[in-house]
Amino acid sequence: MEFRKAERKQAKLKLGIAGVPGSGKTYSALLMAYGICGDWSKIAVIDTENKSADLYSHMGEFMTADISAPFTPAKYIECINSAVEAGFKVLIIDSLSHAWSGEGGLLDMQDKAARASKSGNSYTAWRNITPEHNKLVNAILQSDIDIICTLRSKQAYIMTTDGNGKQNVKKVGLEPIFREGFEYECTVFFDIAQDGHLATVTKDRTELFDGKTFIPNEETGKQLAAWRNSGQEYKCQVCGKAITPDLYQKSIKKYGVPLCSAECKAKYDEQSGK
């Protein structure tokens, strides 16, 4: 057992921004994306909201790809991979909520699986759907690109019991529409309030925004990029190309130095005498 110095594992920013329709999620996401990379042509938007990103085309020449129903995780994953391959710096997924509650999304898939099963058991149907959910979350978290996910928020309720044992439904603010827990996977997760478009952070690995209330904008993106750049850099030692934290760890383990996949292959060939 060997201890190593703790370091930032996430070389890429994975951000979430939740709010009700009209709260300014897309606008804030675009401003943050520009703050992060400083180049509109390097920003891609996956648009599930009926070409709503086009409403912001005056801001800069970013690129969009439309996803329409069915909103399967596979479609999202394909778009994420395409954005990485095309060399974009920041990808905005607007919105991730459609992969959960949209037509053909994970809840729909689960519902269909439950109906198709003999038992009609919705709980066991999750066994088949959870891996699909995990694939999508992993694609977001592990892809070699900064990603901003927007999520729709809805009113959350809890059941309470009063002194007489009577049950009541109580409003408890807003919650993002996606499987619970996604916010904890993000570098920073912003919640935009219903009034005033002001955001607070519900999860913040950077500690940049603790206790602050603000409208996420270009400056927010710049701060996040600066935070990221001050941390561990994941680069190939030979060509200097950025590599994923995963490949960073693997190549060091195997060859003693961080290497990109091409250099790993060259090393492998060299060692196996090809």
Binding positions for Zn ion, rule: CB under 5 A: 236, 238-239, 241, 260, 263
Question: Which amino acid would we find at residue 10?
Answer: Q
Beta-strand ranges (E) seen in the chain are 14-19, 43-47, 63-66, 90-94, 146-161, 167-176, 188-192, 199-204
Query: Minimum CB separation from Zn ion for residue 83, in Å?
Result: 21
Residue closer to Zn ion, measured from CB, 108 or 263: 263
Residue closer to Zn ion, measured from CB, 192 or 260: 260
Query: Minimum CB separation from Zn ion for residue 23, in Å?
Result: 42
Q: φ and ψ at 48, to 5 degrees?
A: -100, 0
d(CA 138, CA 10): 13
Nearest C-alpha neighbor of 106 from the set 82, 72, 60? 72
Structure tokens at 2: 């060997």
Torsion angle, alpha carbons of 161, 162, 167, 173, to 10: -70
Query: Minimum CB separation from Zn ion for residue 243, in Å?
Result: 8
Residue closer to Zn ion, measured from CB, 148 or 259: 259
Residue closer to Zn ion, measured from CB, 33 or 236: 236
Residue closer to Zn ion, measured from CB, 217 or 232: 232
Nearest C-alpha neighbor of 47 from the set 155, 173, 150? 150
Query: Minimum CB separation from Zn ion for residue 228, in Å?
Result: 21
Query: Minimum CB separation from Zn ion for residue 249, in Å?
Result: 16
Q: φ and ψ at 191, to 5 degrees?
A: -115, 120
Residue closer to Zn ion, measured from CB, 203 or 267: 267
Query: Minimum CB separation from Zn ion for residue 244, in Å?
Result: 13
d(CA 154, CA 176): 6
Query: Minimum CB separation from Zn ion for residue 273, in Å?
Result: 21
Task: Indicate if the alpha-carbon torsion angle 101, 141, 28, 220 is positive or negative.
Answer: positive
Question: Which amino acid would we find at residue 15?
Answer: L
Residue closer to Zn ion, measured from CB, 239 or 257: 239
Contact 79, 67 (CB under 8 A): yes
Write down the residue that tokens 């800069």 correspond to. Answer: 60
